[in-house]
Amino acid sequence: MFSFPTEKFFQKEERQFFIRRLFRRVFLEDWLIKAIALVITLALWLGVTGLHPPMTARLKNVALNLRVSNDVEITNSPESEVDIVVTGDKRKIDQINPRDLVASLDLTDVPTGDRRVQITQENFNVELPTGIRLEEVQPPEIAVKLESVAEREVAVKAETEGNVADGFEIYNQTILPQKVRVRGPESFIKSLDFVSTEKINLENQKQDFTARQVPINIVNPKATVLDTVVDVAFKIGEKRIERVFIVPVRTAAGSNTATVVLYGGRTILDSVKSENLEVKVLKNDMGEDSPHLILPAGIQEKVEIKRLKIN
């Protein structure tokens, strides 16, 4: 027996009714309010994105930072600033101050030696506002000299200023440590004979003194001193003179004299007489006669024997 599909018919009618009602609600009801909302949305979108086409500008004198590995130094004076060409929204570009930008060029994979390095998107970086695109860098390459870093011990030389008091002189000086470790470009380190201290003032000094924790002064800004300070001890005394003494001496051949030349402070040598000195003839390691001078106990560490000869 045939039956009319009334249930399906009513379901179809309901769907059509629902679609018509939805269409009316979305597009016809409260259309004025919806039109105003659409206008506001368009205005906000235009305010954010703008209607102006992108502009291109050149930003001059952007600071350039060169990045190298820890065991490499740059030993020439390469470009320190570059110009960059950017594209983007004019308002954003106008707000950029080139002096606030810092560009970096990665040289960590560049071999040592004299090189001309091309500036590319892979090795160049500069932080720009969102929506601003880097188009070009000028100059497009830079010349750099890269050297391996070396390290070795170098002798220290004490630098002084001023004069000790009249009638006095420096007998000797001792630097501790005598050598310090210096790190820097290989060519500079190899040619370095010594490093100097900062100047130590000796004005009117009359006696021994020690300058402590004196900084090392190194002129090459690429080099680094690992031991940065030293102590310098000065032995200061009365100005020294030479004085000749004729001293009696007994040899295998009989009585004779010896000529003795002593070097020391004037006051000390003025107190020494020939009779205070004794010369003995002793056998040396070769079995030969050799003169030996015996000094008074009080001056043994204060004078130097410049000459001793049997006449």
Radius of gyration of the chain (CA): 46
pLDDT by residue for the chain (311 residues), tens digit each? Answer: 444 455 554 555 666 665 666 556 655 555 566 667 666 776 666 565 555 678 999 999 999 999 999 999 999 999 999 999 999 989 899 999 999 999 999 999 999 999 999 999 999 999 999 989 999 999 999 999 999 999 999 999 999 999 999 999 999 999 999 999 999 999 999 999 999 999 999 999 999 999 999 999 988 888 999 999 999 999 999 999 999 999 998 877 778 899 999 999 999 999 999 999 999 888 777 777 788 999 998 888 889 999 998 88
Q: What is the pLDDT of residue 205?
A: 95
Which residue type sits at 81? E
Which helix (DSSP H) or strand (DSSP E) does residue 135 occupy? strand 133-138
Q: b or e along 92-127 (b: 16 or more beta carbons within 10 Å of the residue's beta carbon)?
A: bbeebebeebebebbbeebebeeeebebeeebbebe
The torsion angles phi and psi of 275, rounded to 5 degrees, stand at -70, -15
Question: How far, in whole angstroms, is CA 152 from its chain's centroid?
Answer: 16
Structure tokens at 230: 């030293």
Q: Which residue has the tokens 């001792």?
A: 174
Token pair in block for residue 74: 């740059």
Separation CA 86–CA 50 (nearest Å)? 18
Q: Which amino acid is at 66?
A: L
Closest by CA to 242, choosing from 305, 172, 170, is 305
pTM: 0.64
> What gap in Å lies between CA 58 and CA 65, rounded to an integer?
19
